[in-house]
Structure 1
């Protein structure tokens, strides 16, 4: 560790300040450091899970001494009289002593919002390549994480092939629609998706808690005229609304909409969530927008309802703006995946001539992110 790293004990041991190798001076509380220790008495070596609870850490924990030794920050805690080593790079990566203020609607660094100009940046990969090569799979999943959607080409043209796509990174999430569902014209359909009508850009199943966080749509036949797929970045739409109308953005984040589906016997699904959902610290985490499944909005005070509806209308207009959409037509053996908490998908109407047969299924983002993290944590092979 470079010699310029220095340590100062603060508030009679309640915290310490460390100047890390990147030059930043970061403060850490004693209880936080003790809770995040990686010694074998605190964490299981095999899986990294904590062996102790917070109640096992004395409430009066303080830092008695701290020094640099063998390239690590050695911290001695009282009243346990235990010395624990911390890697400086780990402390830098997990520092929480940051001065920056984030405005509501901020997004994580690995996310990039987009509009119709996305073009060649669409994450596209060959199904056989990502199935054989973990590095290729990681590259594709990284793109899906960044943009919220991606395409695969070169897949088999056979029923239930989409289940193999889900198996690349996780598991199918079964719902009342089954492990997978058919998207083609039906007589007396249980859902408007099973007609030839065009569909406004929407997120799926907003009436569930939690919603399925990923959706896969896989093409088996597509000779009908029309029926192109469209995707819209809901996060970019939210950013546009915030820039145009901070008040409208605030209304759609502070008040819950309601969604409902009761299109089948024995099924009545309901949820109550904002159309634009923020984490407590203002991070933009989810969009729920689906006019077909919207129920009566009853959680907005009378004095704000007119302004809420104006914001709702404007949000829909932004989503419908062709400058926001990426459009493509799937060929048999092709599919696309969307982050259903972020990217809205739509379909243009199609004629009765020819055929259009897609299959869809749901999965969850935690499996995709877990697979990607595992790939990224693997050592790279020398070229």
Structure 2
């Protein structure tokens, strides 16, 4: 290990020499236009080492002459904050997301809304919308004319649209165009979509275009992040089990057979931060990923989790009206609806997770 002490701050940078040489950011190592590395890793000698190190006068940058005749300049503070230990510690105290139950989200509902006119004309409104999605996992666009074309216009102002076998934009009612309970008038419990996909959609969008000659159909939302944290604090063993057990999901219809297994609670291996929640009691496939001797413990944990998710304190219920479009984080927020009567038509789409996070980074909302 190489130890480099900043005399001004007293901090000591402890790094692997090869790693440091690999992270040179000079024009010979990095393409300034593409931000990509320009060299083959094997171009660097395995035994490369610094010949001398010298801090510049400001004490922030230091220069290194390497044994492979390469010269590098580094930002000490940038490297120090980039170390595993610092990254792990900072993300464990992530304050960009606010877990919520019904009372908390109602207190903050004013932060979740923008109107379409502002969204189209103002980059600030775009940032407000994406910021709400990062912090609370849900946001609304108001004053959207109730048709699929305007739904699409509103979303494309902010994100590209994800294409699946449902298409890009989709319009649905109780006509059974697909083998899915969503295409009925029945009650739908809290769930995330696409548990059968290898890469579930990052965002889901819903817009009620019309509801005629009937009642019901209220939508409800639950913050899975809050529910998972409650499970952690109340039933740690249940949390750890749902973090570990692979739960299979599948979708089967003519010409389509999607299948994937993953834990209900996905935690980052480095930071222990909850990064994805998967919950869909409808799309579960044959459950054969653990021995039968462990089934009782699994179902007990699953039931504890569902009791938190389905509690009245967790669930925010509201009636989606024509003209209001809701976006929610499909890796975090569970959604469902009450049964309804009459004729109701919805439009919507998905956004890939990578496109959602890319937009948030461009806006400076996350790293």
Give TM-score scaled by structure 1 length. 0.86
1:309 to 2:295 alignment: no
| Matching residue of 1:90 | 78
In the aligned structure 2, how far is the partner of 1:37 from the partner of 1:239?
40
In the aligned structure 1, how far is the partner of 2:5 from the partner of 2:185?
63
Unaligned 5+ runs, structure 1? 1-10, 378-383
Call closer, same or farther: CA 1:284–1:106 in 2, change over 3 Å: farther
In the aligned structure 2, how far is the partner of 1:55 from the partner of 1:115?
52
How many equivalent residue pairs? 359
In the aligned structure 2, how far is the partner of 1:306 from the partner of 1:18?
56
Superposition pairs of residues 10-25 of structure 1, within 5 angstroms:
11=1, 14-18=2-6, 24-25=11-12
1:32 to 2:19 alignment: yes
Mean Cα displacement is larger for which, 341-350 or 49-58? 49-58
Mean Cα displacement is larger for which, 307-316 or 108-117? 108-117
Runs of 4+ in structure 1 over 3 Å off: 17-21, 23-26, 97-102, 105-109
Unaligned 5+ runs, structure 2? none
Call closer, same or farther: CA 1:89–1:328 in 2, change over 3 Å: farther
Q: Contact conserved, 1:198 with 1:349, CA < 8 A, in 2?
A: yes
In the aligned structure 2, how far is the partner of 1:244 from the partner of 1:365?
30
Q: Of residues 131, 137, 151 in structure 2, which corresponds to 1:142?
A: 131
Q: Contact conserved, 1:150 with 1:338, CA < 8 A, in 2?
A: yes
| Matching residue of 2:98 | 112
In the aligned structure 1, how far is the partner of 2:42 from the partner of 2:5?
25
1:248 to 2:238 alignment: yes
Q: Contact conserved, 1:258 with 1:271, CA < 8 A, in 2?
A: yes
Give TM-score scaled by structure 2 length. 0.89
1:346 to 2:336 alignment: yes
1:79 to 2:62 alignment: no
Q: Contact conserved, 1:151 with 1:335, CA < 8 A, in 2?
A: yes
Mean Cα displacement is larger for which, 204-213 or 57-66? 57-66
Superposition pairs of residues 127-206 of structure 1, within 5 angstroms:
127-186=116-175, 190-206=179-195
| Matching residue of 1:52 | 39
Give 1:184 shift.
Answer: 1.6
CA RMSD in angstroms comes to 2.5
1:262-309 deviation line (CA, Å, top 9, x unaligned): 1x2111111111111123223312111101101121111233211011
In the aligned structure 1, how far is the partner of 2:40 from the partner of 2:230?
44
Q: Contact conserved, 2:3 with 2:12, CA < 8 A, in 1?
A: no
